Amino acid sequence: MSIFIDKGTRLIVQGITGRDGSFHAKQMMEYGTQVVGGVTPGKGGQMFEGTVPIFNTVAAAVAATGANTTVIYVPPMFAADAIMEAADAGLQLIVAITEGVPVLDMTRVHPFVKERGVRLIGPNCPGLITPGASKVGIIPGRICTPGPVGVVSRSGTLTYEIVYQLTRAGIGQTTCVGIGGDPINGTNFIDCLAAFEADPATKAVCMMGEIGGTDEQEAAEFVRTRMTKPVVGFIAGQTAPPGRRMGHAGAIISGSSGTAAEKVAAFEAAGMGVAKRPIDFVDLIRARLK
């Protein structure tokens, strides 16, 4: 079992002929993901890698392939339109990898996808992977292994680091989800925690947060009141100076509600395990799986 994606995921790739899109489409195919189509306007009718049909529009791709999921690699100025096109075509899961999407664009996109009942993950995220079954996005497949731990994170390479350390210690994962670091994104910690709580295969959850915003505090409250499964948390940016943007648009401390100390305190108040270093996840999770 898993959350959001599994062997039944039928994926199209928006921007499949671009530099990033083509590279990662191949990686996903090699991993075993069912890539059933691609979209690049003007290249409809061509084939990608000789096996995957390319379409001019998402609607045409869905009609021809029965896809249920899309992954988006289009340039940032076109990402909002690509997400809305996918939502309008009836896809149920949209994963937007694109980094640098203007936040004001997302203020229009967010209600658009919500009103259609569609799940959006990202933008500016590494996507997700259900080890051994399906990978949608850019998380390196070889660092993951199947097992009982759900992983949800706001960052990319930090997620790889922690998943890699879990895997090296023999602790596998149900699904690893990178929700992205932008101020407005489609799926938040609580969405993922609720899905992991409902997934019978997931026995414990790792959650990697960052400074900025209050998502982690709200997630901690959710853990306290709604979850039966153990959750271990980590906050990146304990040494970041206030008021400075640390690469992720999200990672900025504003006022008193975004500091690492406040988030760690919320985790502790919710009875969660708190990893002080990435490596601490291994022992904390192992103790909770016993």
Catalytic site positions: 248
- Of positions 63, 77, 261, 289, contacts another protein by CB under 8 A: 77
Instruction: Candidates 44-52, 61-69, 235-243, 261-269: pick the segment binding another protein (CB under 8 A).
Output: 235-243
Q: Establish if 154 lies at the interface with another protein (CB under 8 A).
A: yes
Burial 4-39 (b: 16+ CB within 10 A, else e): bbeeebbbbbbbbbbeebbebbebbbebebbbbbbb
Alpha helices in 53-212 (DSSP H): 58-65, 76-88, 103-115, 157-168, 189-198
Q: Taking the complex as a whole, how short is the minimal distance between the CB of residue 37 and another protein, in angstroms?
A: 23
- Of positions 60, 203, 214, 224, contacts another protein by CB under 8 A: 214
Q: Establish if 262 lies at the interface with another protein (CB under 8 A).
A: no
Question: Taking Cα atoms as reference points, which of 119, 118, 61, 127 lies closest to residue 98?
Answer: 127
Q: Are 219 and 225 in contact (CB under 8 A)?
A: no
Q: What is the dihedral of CA 262, 264, 269, 271, to 10 degrees?
A: 170
> CA 76 from chain center: how many Å?
17
Q: Establish if 259 lies at the interface with another protein (CB under 8 A).
A: no
Q: Establish if 138 lies at the interface with another protein (CB under 8 A).
A: yes
* Cis peptide bond upstream of 123, omega within 30: yes
CA–CA separation, 234 and 256 (whole Å)? 19
One symbol per residue from 115 to 134: x for binding another protein (CB under 8 A), - otherwise; what is it? -----------x--------
- Of positions 37, 147, 156, 273, contacts another protein by CB under 8 A: 156
Sign of the Cα pseudo-torsion (153, 154, 160, 164, in order) = negative
Burial of 241 from C-beta contacts in 10 A (0-12 / 13-18 / 19+): exposed
Closer to another protein by Cβ: residue 226 or 244: 244
Q: Establish if 251 lies at the interface with another protein (CB under 8 A).
A: yes
User: What is the three-class DSSP state of 236?
Assistant: strand
CA–CA separation, 222 and 270 (whole Å)? 9
- Of positions 119, 135, 248, 263, contacts another protein by CB under 8 A: 248
Q: Establish if 82 lies at the interface with another protein (CB under 8 A).
A: no
User: What is the three-class DSSP state of 36?
Assistant: strand
Closer to another protein by Cβ: residue 90 or 183: 183
- Of positions 11, 86, 211, 219, contacts another protein by CB under 8 A: 211
Residues 35-64 that bind another protein (CB under 8 A): none
- Of positions 36, 39, 193, 236, contacts another protein by CB under 8 A: 236
- Of positions 210, 266, 272, 285, contacts another protein by CB under 8 A: 210
Q: Establish if 240 lies at the interface with another protein (CB under 8 A).
A: yes
Q: Establish if 225 lies at the interface with another protein (CB under 8 A).
A: no
Q: Which residues bind another protein (CB under 8 A)?
A: 20, 76-77, 99-104, 106-108, 110-111, 126, 138-140, 143, 153-161, 164, 181, 183-184, 208, 210-215, 234, 236-241, 244, 246-251, 255, 276-279
